[in-house]
Amino acid sequence: MPVGNASDGIGLYAGQIMFSANFNFQHIDWAHDPIESENYEHFGHLNSSLFLPSLTLGISDYWNVSFQQAFVVRKMGWGPHEESNHHRTESSLDDFINATGGILGDSKLKFKYLLNNVGMQAGNRIFLGFGVSIPSENTLTSDPFFLEEAATNQSGEVNWDEDGHEHRHFSLSDGNYKNIYEIQFFNKRRKNPVFWGLKFEATIPFKSSNYGYKAGNTYNLSISSLFKPPKKIKDKGLIGISSGLFFLHTGKGYWNGFLDPSSNTTMVIPSLGSIWKINDNSISINIQKPFLVDGLGMGSENTLNNNFDALELSIGYRYTLGYVIPWLYY
């Protein structure tokens, strides 16, 4: 796990069981210019805490199956001391007019074919994967942009001064069922970088939410490497220093056929971290700095002068059980 999910680059043999988990904390500072009905600068922050436990089973020497469940809490801090239809200090734990609150995010069931697996030895690891993402019920229940209303108004805009336009922009799930496809290539060797590789993942929605939202396709390319530390530091449990670069693109989404103005975004995310060995446990600590290349980054009614600044801390954990399921092993 140089960078990314704790289970990346790992292939299990028949009967092996691995538990892994990622804890991510992300802080976003955001701001945009005044809008017509609220003539003051809008600004605030959004904090997200994600716990992503995963269980992986080697059902044969060539096939692994894994299940992951996301647990998420998001909290919005509203900066101005003004009432707004668009923003307020609030939490994803609570219901709102157009949002169902809770803690459960999406679930993922994935199968991985080990095209080439060398275990813990030096050499290439090539994995092909597919699966499905199952949405939770903690999603937006109506369009926060009121796009249909804007389209039917003669002015082409929403009259935000009217009652009934309070809304929330963020949720824990977009409510879409999605297919997942991935390919992993990693190489382990004896000289620096001792572990390096890449992973490409495509997430393609095949069923829209129950409330009329169709998410865009998501494409994620990660390139990562691990460098062994000096012996004096390695003796203290440090396995290596990791670095990585992520490219993330989310395509166009639609509310009831109307383009979601916060969709179609591209990010570049460099990462730097370390991996530690504690007994039979592997623990990684990474700092990631997302840069918004294109798009808004988060929901906003105003597409001009949007400011987005984010920082993320990720802690990964991995443990392979000593127990092997006998009826799969033999």
Q: List the single range of 38-47, 157-166, 181-190, 247-256 with lowest mean pLDDT.
A: 157-166
Tell me the C-alpha distance between 299 and 265, whole Å. 11
**CA-only gyration radius of the chain, Å:** 22
pLDDT score, position 283: 92
Tell me the C-alpha distance between 67 and 56, whole Å. 7
Q: Which domains does the chain have, with CATH numbers?
A: 17-329 (2.40.160.40)
248 pLDDT more than 80: yes
pLDDT in tens, 272-309: 999 988 888 889 999 999 998 887 655 444 444 567 88
43 pLDDT more than 90: no
**What percent of the chain has a predicted confidence (pLDDT) above 70?**
89
pLDDT in tens, 87-127: 778 888 888 888 889 999 999 999 999 999 987 788 899 99
318 pLDDT more than 60: yes
215 pLDDT more than 50: yes
pLDDT in tens, 258-280: 999 888 999 999 999 999 888 88
pLDDT band per the 50, 70, 90 thresholds, residue 198 = very high
pLDDT score, position 1: 44
pLDDT band per the 50, 70, 90 thresholds, residue 155 = low
Give pTM, 2 decimals: 0.89
Better pLDDT: 219 or 193: 219
